[in-house]
């Protein structure tokens, strides 16, 4: 039997400004990652029929939203940003009851970052400018940047509110409307955003929120009246979405497909800084796409760095299992049973591919708690070195030269982010240019800022989120050419 919770648990899709029963018959159970307890046993999954209804609703809302003036659009985005902060505890709580995420992160950093994104894009509604060109050839020539229309997003389970903001805020600022499919593994907090959108002044249908399995995702990817889809998740699913988009109506696609980010610690690095910042892979118990989990450290400082990192891991392990609603808790479990099984397989394989330095075991009989784990000098081609694990597992290897470090760092199909630790500014610039990744951070772990584009090279994805570049993902360019008539017009030349 499900528990009683502090806030209501939404279980239905949010379409055209209200919660409605899903058309599909599928009902699923959601369990807590904290202790395996039942959260609800009648959660409603959406299907293709629900997607059709959401598209019809969005098309109606688009006509209204595009009539809003730029200041009015901006006001809605700003109000939404304020309401996110006002509802931070509720949203963080609804995330935590399923994922076990520490409230200090879910109701803190995540909500603040999402609010900052909406506030940032609110400033662009009156700054989407076109161009005019010389009229010496007898033509008035104008370039316009216009919204695509109905867009869709398929969001990740690890950061439901952040991924919602990263996709919806620029889409709305550019004049579009959005249908979001929240992750079926962690959907509750996303659904709660529906009522907040209404309070912010968005017209019903401008933000529709669905939850479903692969069938719902396929329906969004193949829908002939959806003009754009943005996805955060695995390479395997990203390929399917891109293919479906191409085979349907050639809808635009943005893909953020994870990473296996390298960390380069050079001999001149400040070791305490390197330890503190590279340990960010422990955040969310390793369930973050940009986290550095392939660590390469210069052989002259390797011992000192490893000992420092092990101390952080021991402290994190001691905090595992703490009350996630306590503001002092900074650890969390793996967010769902599926991820627990995935990490378990990688741990078993890793023990045959590298030397285990610390960790490597699950904790307790209930929940999805796993010790943070370091493997040393993995074999060439090791699975733990090549594949994204999405858990608190990192590999460490040493290098002698800068060239060797770069060769090892770039030997990956992924290219989302990379970390560099050095006091040499010339090296920092040189190495950041040579690294094959979309975001390079030097002497910090701050991978994302609202103002900076975020996205991958190689198989880590297509397109960019955040910053002004994200607006381009949700606009199309139109050329308008008007011929001047009469002698008066031609005299302009």
Q: Which residues are catalytic?
A: 256
The candidate with the shortest Cα–Cα distance to 379, out of 339, 357, 358, 350, is 350
Cβ neighbours of residue 201 under 8 Å, at least 6 residues apart?
72, 75, 76, 79
Q: Which backbone phi and psi does 394 adopt, to 5 degrees?
A: -130, 150
Can you tell me the distance from the alpha carbon of 255 to that of 232, in angstroms, rounded to the nearest whole number?
6
| CA distances to 126, 296, 394, 395 from 286, in Å | 39, 18, 9, 13
Can you name the residues that pair with 262 across neighbouring β-strands? Answer: 294
What residues contact 286, with CB distance under 8 A and at least 6 apart?
Answer: 293, 372, 389, 390, 391, 392, 393
Q: Output the CA–CA distances (angstroms, integers) from residue 84 to 102, 133, 165, 451, in the order listed.
A: 18, 42, 10, 19
Residue 280 is encoded by which pair of tokens? 């960010």
Phi and psi, residue 214, nearest 5°: -55, -35
- Which of 237, 221, 238, 239 has the alpha carbon at shortest distance from 229? 221
Cβ atoms of 50 and 24 within 8 Å: the answer is yes
CA–CA distance, 241 with 223 (Å, rounded to integer):
11
CB neighbour list of residue 178: distance below 8 Å, 6 or more residues apart: 58, 151, 152, 153, 167, 168, 171, 172, 206, 207, 208
Report CA torsion sign: 327, 333, 336, 337. Answer: negative
Distances in whole angstroms, Cα of residue 17 to Cα of each of 55, 155, 188, 194, 228: 13, 20, 17, 7, 22
CA–CA gap between residue 459 and residue 99 (Å, rounded): 27
DSSP for 381-430?
T-HHHHS---SSEEEEEEESSHHHHHHHHH-SS--SEEEEE-S-HHHHHH
CA distances from 446 to 266, 419, 440, 449, 471 (A): 19, 10, 10, 8, 22
Residue 170 in 3-state DSSP?
helix
């Amino acid at each position: 039997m499900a528990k009683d919770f502090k806030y209501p648990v939404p279980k239905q899709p949010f379409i055209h400004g209200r919660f409605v029963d899903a058309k599909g018959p599928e009902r699923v159970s959601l369990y807590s990652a904290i202790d395996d307890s039942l959260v609800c046993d009648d959660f409603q999954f959406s299907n293709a029929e629900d997607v059709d209804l959401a598209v019809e609703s969005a098309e109606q809302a688009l006509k209204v939203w595009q009539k809003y003036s730029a200041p009015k659009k901006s006001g809605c985005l700003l109000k939404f940003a304020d309401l996110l902060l006002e509802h931070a505890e509720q949203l963080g709580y609804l995330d935590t009851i399923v994922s076990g995420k520490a409230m200090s992160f879910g109701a803190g950093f995540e909500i603040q970052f999402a609010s900052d994104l909406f506030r940032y894009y609110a400033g662009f509604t009156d700054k989407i400018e076109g161009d005019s060109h010389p009229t010496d050839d007898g033509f008035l020539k104008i370039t316009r940047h216009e919204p695509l229309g109905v867009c869709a997003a398929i969001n990740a389970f690890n950061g439901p509110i952040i991924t919602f903001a990263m996709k919806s805020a620029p889409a709305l600022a550019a004049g579009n409307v959005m249908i979001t499919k929240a992750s079926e593994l962690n959907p509750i907090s996303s659904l709660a955003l529906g009522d907040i959108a209404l309070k912010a002044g968005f017209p019903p249908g401008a933000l529709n929120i669905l939850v479903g399995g692969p069938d719902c995702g396929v329906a969004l990817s193949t829908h002939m009246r959806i003009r754009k889809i943005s996805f955060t998740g695995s390479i395997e699913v990203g390929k399917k979405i891109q293919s479906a988009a191409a085979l349907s109506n050639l809808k635009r696609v943005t893909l953020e497909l994870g990473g296996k980010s390298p960390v380069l610690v050079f001999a001149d690095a400040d070791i305490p800084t390197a330890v503190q910042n590279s340990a960010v892979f422990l955040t969310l118990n390793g369930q973050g796409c940009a986290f550095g989990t392939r660590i390469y450290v210069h052989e002259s400082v390797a011992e000192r760095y490893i000992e420092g990192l092990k101390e952080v891991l021991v402290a994190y392990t001691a905090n595992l299992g703490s009350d996630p609603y306590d503001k002092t808790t900074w650890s969390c479990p793996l967010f769902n049973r599926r991820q627990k099984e995935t990490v378990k397989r990688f741990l078993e394989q890793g023990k045959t591919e590298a030397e285990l330095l610390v960790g490597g075991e699950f904790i307790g009989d209930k929940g999805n708690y796993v010790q943070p784990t370091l493997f040393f000098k993995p074999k060439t081609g090791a699975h733990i070195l090549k594949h994204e694990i999405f858990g608190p597992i990192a590999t460490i290897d040493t290098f002698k030269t800068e060239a060797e470090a770069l060769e090892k760092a770039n030997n990956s199909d992924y290219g989302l982010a990379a970390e560099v630790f050095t006091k040499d500014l010339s090296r920092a610039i040189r190495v950041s240019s040579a690294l094959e990744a979309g975001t390079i951070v030097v002497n910090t772990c701050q991978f994302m800022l609202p103002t900076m584009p975020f996205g991958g090279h190689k198989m880590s994805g297509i397109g960019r989120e955040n910053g002004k570049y994200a607006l381009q993902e949700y606009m199309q360019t139109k050329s308008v050419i008007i011929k001047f008539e009469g002698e008066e017009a031609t005299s302009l030349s």
